[in-house]
Each structure stands twice: as C-alpha cells, then as structure tokens.
Chain A
Amino acid sequence: MQWKTADYAGWGRALRARGRIARPERVSALRDALAEGGPAIGNRLSYGDGALNADGAAVQMTRMDRLLAFAPETGVIEVEAGATIGALLKLLAPQGWMPAVMPGTGLATIGGCIANDVHGKNHHGAGSFGQHVLAVTLMTQTGPREVSPASDPALFRATMGGQGQTGAILSARLKLMAIPGQRMKVVETRMRDFDSFIAALDASEADFTVGWIDATAKRKRLGRGILEEGTLVEGTRPGPERRPKPVPFDAPRALLSWPVVKIFNRWYGSGVPDSGRKRTRALDEFFFPLDALTDWNRLYGKRGFHQFQCVVPADRAPALKEILTTIARGGVASPLAVLKRMGPGRAGHLSFPMDGYTLAVDLPARARVPALYARLEEQVIAAGGRIYLAKDALARPESMAAMYPELEAWRAEAAKADPERRLATDLVRRLKLRSA
C-alpha cells in the first residue's frame, strides 16, 4: 500500500497533524507518491510544523537512503536525500572524511539538512550545510533534474534553506571535510556569566565550539554555563559504539517542573570542575550528545515543548542578554539551552545564520509560552536578528519580512518551481511564506 493515514507530529510534539503519508523505497514509487502532491519530509526533527501537512499528503524520504558514489581522493559523495548525517559520519569517519556541517542530531536527513540549511558547531569557520552542497537532484513533474550553483543559481539558492518548496530532493552531491582521525579533543570550561561567555566565544580559536547554558539562572549568574571547545585529532574511535537508550514512556508533568530543572542544571554544571576538564570523545558523542537517548522529546510529557532559537548580529550581544533575561524571568523550564557563535556563512534566501550569536532554549508547551515567545520575537526583530524556522512553532507571519529580507526573491523562485503550491507545509501556511 502506498499511502497510510496517520497522526504525526514535529519533534516538539506540540504541533500535530493528521494526513496521508507515503514512504517510498525506490525512485518509481517516489515519483508516483509525489504525483499526488505534498512535500517531501525527513525524520521530522524540525520542532514545529516544518515537516507537517495537515489533511494533506507528505512523502517521507527516509527509505531513499542509498549512497550513489564516493570519491575518497576528492571527498565528494553523492547520496539519496533520506540518508542520515549520522549514517554518513559512521561510514566515512574510518576513511578520513566527515560531512562538513552536522546539526546536533545524527538522525537528520540530508534532505532536511538542505531544506533548513542547517549549521553545526563549526559554523563560525565552515559556514552552513548548503555551502558544501555541490548539486542537488530535484524530482520534477518531468523526472529528476540536477541543479547546481552553475546550472541554475537562483533555483539552487532557493532550495538551500528552502523548506522543501522547490521540489523533493532526490539526492545531493556533497563536499566532505577531511579529518585526521576519529577523535575530538574537548576542553570544557566553566563560564561565570553571560558577558564572560560571549568574551570566551569571541576569543576561542577552536574549530568547534558550543556553549551549554543554564537558562534558569538569573541576575549575577545569568548566562552561566560551560563552554565546550573541540579540536579534531588523530586516532581510532575511542570506546565502543554507542547504544542509544530509549525513553519508554511520556514523562509525567512533574518531572520537568521548574525546581527540578534548576537542580538538573546545577548538576549538569557541576560535572565540570572549576579548573575545567579535558576529554577525548568519539565524534558522534561530541556532535550528537542527545542521540544517546532515543525519543528524548518524550521527557517533556504529552503536551510537548517548543524551542526558541534566534540569532542576533555580532554587535548586538547586549540585546541577546536582554532576550536571555526575558527567558529566565519567564520562569518556564528550559534545561537545554545552547549559545553559539555564528559566522556569516549562509547558502539560501531563507537561511538562518548571520554573523553573530545564536541562542536556543527549550520551552515546555504551557499556557504562558505563546505570550513569552511573542515578546522574544519582538526583541529579536528589534535587535536585527531572526528566528530559526527549523525550531519554530509560534512565530507570526508579520515578522517574516523583517527577519528574512530575501523573502520576496525566494517566493518568486518557489512560485516558479511549484506554481500550484502543492509542496506547502503547515509552517509555510502559518507563516504565509509563499503568499504576501
């Protein structure tokens, strides 16, 4: 059977949809499924409604995951879009290569990484995912069509970070990054507060950096946390393969109540001594720390959660501090907050990155969260920043033009590629991305 009707959700599980889903395993089945309309989706790791199409059809790409060609001399690989970043890392690392950009979960598919033009812990140096894509093959009504920056620059740009609106990506050719071994030397340092965190991020010379922050800490302690700096080093994989542990049931609400979260954060921070800590880690452990628990989104209970992720320009760090203050005062639990330095690298009209700082905070779906989010949204616009569509479930359509100045140019390309808007997702409709 090609289609099944199912209830499904984004990673945050707060937004849901009911609709028809196909999961083709071969090109002919993919072509048939796409003929009925609906966007291609990946592993639905986007937090909100980016991979949802309520009351419509969606084509899940996860079984289209074959490796089509690999040149170990040049580090160019061609893969079907349903292959995951983690699978590529696992296969390539022993051969001295890895995807040049990897998001915080290895389960993201190549199609999803392109459609959100994702960034990794090396964004300040390596840029965004789309900057390492040499070409994509889009499924069009007339068959597969290869699109590269040379063959059709505008369509290529609209596809990078293009929310799947220019067509289903069948496969992509990627330029990989050469690595000296399968190890990451990690230095963890405690950060007292926000300002010292920003200063340390600016001063860091590491290729890979990420800041874990306690978004519940206020006043003097606002922005305290741990800075992780990683450097690739030689050597085989340290330790055995990870075996992810499942979260077998939805957590009761009490588990993530505010005091519990505070304790969690204090405990997390205390794992690192005052003097800091040096460790050698396997690449997947460093890049995908949360993948150690499968379905950890269930920890937020049945109602699910949201993630707020924004970026502000490099000279607006004080505005980000205000944003963090709003979050801490908001009193909504957020045990997983991340602060990163971003470089200017971006590959598409709707790409998220900008030269600056990005902050990502989880917010359990509670009654007061939409109001909090709206306040944050205003602060972000005032700072000249933007909210990340891959994480968004609550932003308003009015904000889009200010956050994404190239929206009109993107719209024109999307309209050319998909004039009937057959590929629209719930997110695209909610944010009116394709209509003025």
Chain B
Amino acid sequence: MAETWIVLGASSSMARALVRRLAARGDGLILAGRDLADLERDAADARVRGAAFAEVVRFDAREPACVAPILARAKACEGTVSAAVFVGSMPPQAEIDADPGLIEGVVTDSFTGPARLLQGLAPIIEARGAGTVIGVGSVAGDRGRISNYVYGAAKAAFATYLSGLRNRLGRAGGHVLTVKPGFTDTAMTWGIEGMFLVASPDKVATDILSALEKQRNVIYTPFFWMGIMGIIRLIPERVFKKLSV
C-alpha cells in the first residue's frame, strides 16, 4: 500500500511542486489548508497525475479545532501516514514592530499550529512503526536579523521542535526531515526587493524528494545556503548586531 501524505499549507507553490511528484509516484494525498475551493483544483491535478486519491480538508493553524478531524482522517488511512508542513506567514517586520499583537499569529502559523497537529500524528507514526514528517523552516531561523526576526524566531522554534520530534520518532521507525529553503520564487516573495540566488519551487521540491530518498535529517535548499548560513552563524554577536544583512 502506498504512502498517504497530509500536506499542511498545500496551497504554497513549494507544496504544489512536491505534491505533483508524490502524486506521480501514486501516493495518497490529503491537502490541508484554508482556501478549500482552490485546493480542490490542486486535488484534481494530483489525481490526473496519478495520485492514489486526493482530497481536501480544512486546516487553519490558528484554529485548534481543525486538528481532530484531520487526525481522525489519518487514522482511517491504511498503511504509512506521513506529513509535510509548508505553513508559514511573513508579515513585514515593520508591521509587526507597529503592532506587536501580530507576533502570536506569526508564531502560530510557522510553529505552534503545525506542531499541534504533528503532536497528534506522532503516536500514529509510532504505532505503525513508519512515517515521515517533512517540516519546512527557513534559513531565516538560523539567525535573527533586523529585517525579519519575529518570523525567524518562529522558524527557529519550529526547527528545534522538529529536532526533538526526530529524536522521538527515530526510535519508532519514523523519520523527520527539516528543510531550510533560501529565497524561493513564490507568492510570499513576489515583489520583495533585494533577493538573490532565488530558487524555483520545483528546485525545492526536487531537493526534498532526493533528501527523502537519502533519509537526510536537515537540508538547505539549494545546498549552497548551508555554506552561506555557516558563515553567517560564525559572525560574533558583537559584530553581527551592527550588520543589516
């Protein structure tokens, strides 16, 4: 029996690119998000491309009540159930500075909302002795920068969470892949100035799939961001605090 994937944030173009590849290998897909009418079109696309099945469920990271029905659906699936998390939101830092009330939403979207669902999925993976969690973080989580430190903090929290979850699920036959994309050409970044080395969503999806095959734990995509972030992490804090990178 093929694998079933719960995809949170399925409307992201990165998710869409991965879903197409998973569909082509015949996996089952549960596309979770807020824009259900549009996700139905993604589900149709997945079916045409060969998915065993593709359906849509509502997931709003900020509504804890969404979690239970998705978990119930997961339990009802035979075989391996895996999850891929693409949820995240990045309001401009200036808006957050003006309205600190936004912080909670950013942290919920990138961390606590998805974590709540994964927390419920973990026992299912453990019970079945198989299953993968793909968590999309960001290079922004590797170091807090003046231009988006709240978003970065949420992504750092998610990465730390994934590390712990890996530790837990690894013992039971599960696997956790943390993905840290650099600048990617998606709706989130359309029109943002000053981006460089921008990758396509397809590139991110290809990297994710090959990392899955190799059972990698943490990847940067494209790979060169590992080098860039390695250097950025090495800069002493007393120097870094004066930079605007």
- Bound together, the chains give a CA A68 to CA B43 distance in angstroms of 9
- Check B11 against A26 for contact (C-beta < 8 Å): yes
Chain A CB within 8 A of B109 CB = no
Contact A27 B38 (CB under 8 A): yes
Does chain B have a CB within 8 A of A121? no
Q: Is B184 an interface residue (CB 8 A)?
A: no
Contact in complex: B45, A4 (CB < 8 Å): no
Q: B48 contacts A69, CB within 8 Å?
A: yes
Is B168's beta carbon under 8 Å from chain A? Answer: no
- Contact A91-B41, Cβ < 8 Å, known A26-B35, A63-B13: no
Cβ of A70 under 8 Å from chain B: yes
From B13, which residue of chain A is reached at the shortest CB distance?
Answer: A25
Q: Are A3 and B191 in contact (CB under 8 A)?
A: yes
CB neighbours (8 Å) of B187 from chain A are 23-25, 29, 63
A22 and B13 CA atoms in complex are apart in Å by 15
CB distance from B45 to the nearest CB of A (A): 4
- Chain A residues with CB under 8 Å of B60's CB are none
Quote the shortest CB–CB distance from A33 to chain B (angstroms). 11
Q: Interface digits, A10-43 against B, CB 8 Å rule (1 contact, 0 not)?
A: 0000000000001111111100000000000000
Interface set, chain A 308-332, CB cutoff 8 A to B: none
Nearest CB on B from A106, distance (A)? 15
Within the complex, the shortest CB–CB distance from B58 to chain A, in Å, comes to 16
Contact B41–A80 (Cβ < 8 Å): yes
Provide the residues of chain A in CB contact with B45, threshold 8 Å. Answer: 66-68
How big is the A interface, by class? 20 to 34
Contacts of A26 in B (CB 8 A): 11, 35, 38
Known: A1-B190, A1-B191. Contact between A27 and B49, CB under 8 A?
Answer: no
Interface status of B192 (Cβ within 8 A of chain A): yes
Within 8 A of B (CB), among A410-433: none
Bound-state CA distance A63–B184 (Å) is: 14
Complex alpha-carbon distance, A27 and B44, angstroms: 14
Looking at the assembled complex, report how far the CB atom of B101 sits from the nearest CB atom of chain A, in whole angstroms: 22
- Most chain B CB neighbours (cut-off 10 Å) among A24, A29, A63, A69: A63
Q: Mark B57-78, 1 if CB is under 8 A from A, else 0.
A: 0000000000000000000000
Given known contacts A63-B13, A66-B44, A68-B48, A28 and B38 CB-to-CB distance under 8 angstroms: yes
Please encode chain B, from 16 to 27, with 1 for each CB lying within 8 Å of some chain A CB and 0 for all others.
100000000000
Q: Could you tell me the distance in whole angstroms from the C-beta of A110 to the nearest C-beta in chain B?
A: 14
A residues apposed to B, CB below 8 Å: 1-4, 22-29, 63, 66-70, 77, 80, 91
Instruction: Pull 19 A–B residue pairs with CB atoms less than 8 Å apart, ordered by A.
Output: A1-B190, A1-B192, A2-B190, A4-B191, A23-B187, A23-B190, A24-B187, A25-B187, A26-B11, A27-B38, A28-B35, A29-B187, A63-B13, A66-B42, A68-B41, A68-B45, A70-B48, A77-B48, A80-B41
Report the 4 A-B pairs with minimum CB-CB distance, sorted nearest first.
Answer: A4-B191, A1-B191, A66-B45, A67-B48
